[in-house]
Amino acid sequence: MNRRLVILVGSVVLLDTLFYAALAPLLPSLSTQFGLDKGGAGLLVGIYPIGTFIGAVPAGWATARYGSRPTVLVSLFVMAAAALVFAFGQTIGVLYVGRFLQGIAGAASWTAGLAWLVQGTSKARRGEALGFGIGAGVVGAQLGPVLGSVAHLIGRGPAFAGTAMAAGVIAAFAMRMPEAQVSLDSNRTSPWALLRNSRYLVALMIFVIPSMAFGVIEVLAPLRLSELGASAELIGLIFFLAGTAEAVISPVIGRLSDSIGVLAIVRSGMILAAVLLLSLYFPTTVLILGLALVCCSAAIGMLWVPAGKLVSLAAERLEVDQGWAFAIQNSTWSLAIGAGATLGGVLAAIGGDLLAYGSAAALCALVGMVMFGRRPAAAVTSDP
């Protein structure tokens, strides 16, 4: 495993999720400053994943056409520019533009970064490499609120100008990193072949279902914690610990996926996630609910790395560029998170939290049971 490449890609995705998660502490003050209602505040939050969705397919095309390293470098340039726009914007429209550009840059950084990581890592160590890369993204999401709090104290200008400089430093490091040589003959298949392939669709399903479950959690868990008396700071701490559990488990699951295959991990992860999703409904104290949330996040976090490995192996078998494989995966993330949050809220309003958590748990359990009916070779759990 190329440790320098792992550090580079980890730094790129960490910086992206750092931007994404930095808004939460700033949202109340920005709403007051610019007179935003809940709809305007929601747009400021949601325009980032909208940018990610719109930018995913172009990022896949750019990665396949020009290579992973050039696409990563462009994403870092756009990320730095977006940070400066958000840092010094004096109207809400400019801030919308900044967040939208950040989302586009995030799509390119994840798509090209993961493709670069996969192309530069042997199949025997691919799960471990993806585990470290995805874990770095989770760490960025944890540190994002810290950046937002710093920006609230010292101002958006200095805080986000500093992150723009960090993007420049990472870009300088990326320019010195050699790009893996990929034969054009091995990537000549149309990306549409991915959407006609059952193996790739299985991998995508393993990625989408936990994304939807996280969308449900992000809506219902904070509201329930608040009802039980948790302060905003305590809620933030609980989610920080949940993210820590997810970040720690990702490299471990990556190593296991390389040694025992992904099928056993997906089976156990889906069933465990289903049980723990249901457990989020029953606690009547902040402590018990917080512990359940940390455990549930760890269980769901077991599934990201196996899904990523399946995506890369399916694309390799089909001779489709890795950039396209991860571009389609990334485009589904924003849709799945949004769908989970929206449907979870609607179901909770109709039938209570148990209906929402139960529906998410049923999807996880269903996928887990389907995996029990698949053979390792059919699930692409080993090398061709």
Q: Domain boundary at 155, 182, 209, which?
A: 182
> What average pLDDT does the segment 162-187 reach?
80
- Looking at the domain assignment, is residue 153 inside a domain? yes
Closest CA to 210 of 367, 352, 358: 367
- Looking at the domain assignment, is residue 361 inside a domain? yes
3-class DSSP state of 6: helix
> What average pLDDT does the segment 34-42 reach?
78
- Looking at the domain assignment, is residue 188 inside a domain? no
Looking at the fold, whether 261 and 350 belong to one and the same domain comes out as yes
- Looking at the domain assignment, is residue 21 inside a domain? yes
**pLDDT for 182 beyond 70:** no
Amino acid at 189: T
**pLDDT for 339 beyond 50:** yes
pLDDT one-digit tens code per residue, 40-54: 877 887 788 888 888
pLDDT reported for residue 232: 67
Domain with 172 in it = 1-182
| Residue 177: burial class (beta carbons within 10 Å; 0-12, 13-18, 19+) | middle
- Looking at the domain assignment, is residue 212 inside a domain? yes
Domain count of the fold of the chain: 2
Looking at the fold, whether 170 and 253 belong to one and the same domain comes out as no
Could you tell me the pLDDT band of residue 264, with boundaries at 50, 70 and 90?
confident
Query: How far is 372 from 275, CA to CA, in rounded Å?
Result: 17
Looking at the fold, whether 101 and 139 belong to one and the same domain comes out as yes
**pLDDT for 233 beyond 80:** no
pLDDT reported for residue 94: 94
CA dist 169 → 76, 104, 123 (Å)? 10, 20, 30
- Looking at the domain assignment, is residue 197 inside a domain? yes
Looking at the fold, whether 175 and 261 belong to one and the same domain comes out as no
pLDDT reported for residue 285: 95
Looking at the fold, whether 133 and 207 belong to one and the same domain comes out as no
Looking at the fold, whether 161 and 224 belong to one and the same domain comes out as no
Q: Which two tokens stand for residue 373?
A: 């009916």
**pLDDT for 8 beyond 60:** yes
Among residues of the chain, what percentage have pLDDT more than 70?
93
Among residues of the chain, what percentage have pLDDT more than 90?
29
Q: Domain boundary at 135, 157, 182, which?
A: 182
- Looking at the domain assignment, is residue 41 inside a domain? yes
Looking at the fold, whether 139 and 159 belong to one and the same domain comes out as yes
**pLDDT for 90 beyond 80:** yes
SS (H, E, C) 356-369: HHHHHHHHHHHHHH
Looking at the fold, whether 64 and 199 belong to one and the same domain comes out as no
Looking at the fold, whether 120 and 221 belong to one and the same domain comes out as no
Backbone angles phi, psi at 86, to 5 degrees: -70, -30
Looking at the fold, whether 247 and 376 belong to one and the same domain comes out as yes
> What average pLDDT does the segment 16-39 reach?
82
- What sign for the dihedral angle of Cα 27, 28, 29, 34? positive
**pLDDT for 274 beyond 90:** yes
> What average pLDDT does the segment 185-190 reach?
60
Backbone angles phi, psi at 37, to 5 degrees: -85, -175
Q: Domain boundary at 129, 153, 182, which?
A: 182
Looking at the fold, whether 213 and 291 belong to one and the same domain comes out as yes
pLDDT one-digit tens code per residue, 70-84: 999 999 999 999 999
Mean per-residue pLDDT of the chain: 85
- Looking at the domain assignment, is residue 44 inside a domain? yes
* CATH at residue 122: 1.20.1250.20
pLDDT reported for residue 188: 63
Query: How far is 330 from 218, CA to CA, in rounded Å?
Result: 19
Question: What is the Cα Rg of the chain in Å?
Answer: 20
Looking at the fold, whether 233 and 339 belong to one and the same domain comes out as yes
**pLDDT for 18 beyond 80:** yes
